[in-house]
Amino acid sequence: MKTLHVALLAVAIGGASAMVALAEGDPTTKGEARESAPDNSGRNVRDRGDTLTSGDQSEAESDRTLTQKIRQAVMADKSLSMTAHNVKIITVDGRVTLRGPVKSEDERKNVAAKAEQIAGADKVQNHLEVAK
């Protein structure tokens, strides 16, 4: 019985040592990676409350169809950057919200124009941001 306890203790200590070693080797916790990690605190604070996020996308068929048509128009435009192709398009009750970064003011206007052409100018809120 004593041998079993010693064996279990050795396994527990070995496991704890391995966990410490993993934590020390995690590039997000120290060094250069920590210095270059993005700080999204400001955005996180901004996005609390009434701000729509992708999780707010309506499940109504008309809203999903509207989002799909806008996404298809954005993806079909090969002049847009990958960043612009990945903007968030959120539709709730026929109102479209565009969010996320784009590479330039021209891309910002281009994506918004596509959404306005499909949904109607009075139905689109453009919250796209030009990446710095």
**pLDDT tens digits, 77-131:** 999 999 999 999 999 999 999 999 999 999 999 999 999 999 999 999 999 999 8
Name the domain count of the chain.
Answer: 2
Query: Which letter, b or e, does each residue of 56-70 get, where b requires 16 or more Cβ atoms within 10 Å of its Cβ?
Result: ebbeeeebeebbebb
Q: Output phi, psi for 35, to 5 deg.
A: -70, -30
CB atoms < 10 A from the CB of 115, how many?
29
**CA nearest 80: which of 70, 95, 90, 91?**
70
45 falls within a domain: no
**Would you give the distance in Å from CA 41 to the centre of its chain?**
14
In this structure, the chain runs to a length of 132
Q: What's the pTM value of the predicted model, to 2 decimals?
A: 0.63
Q: Which domain holds residue 111?
A: 51-130
Residue 74 shares a structural domain with residue 110: yes
Residue 73 shares a structural domain with residue 12: no
46 falls within a domain: no
Q: Measured between alpha carbons, how far is 22 from 83 in angstroms, rounded to an integer?
A: 33
- What's the pLDDT band for 17 if we cut at 50, 70, 90? very low
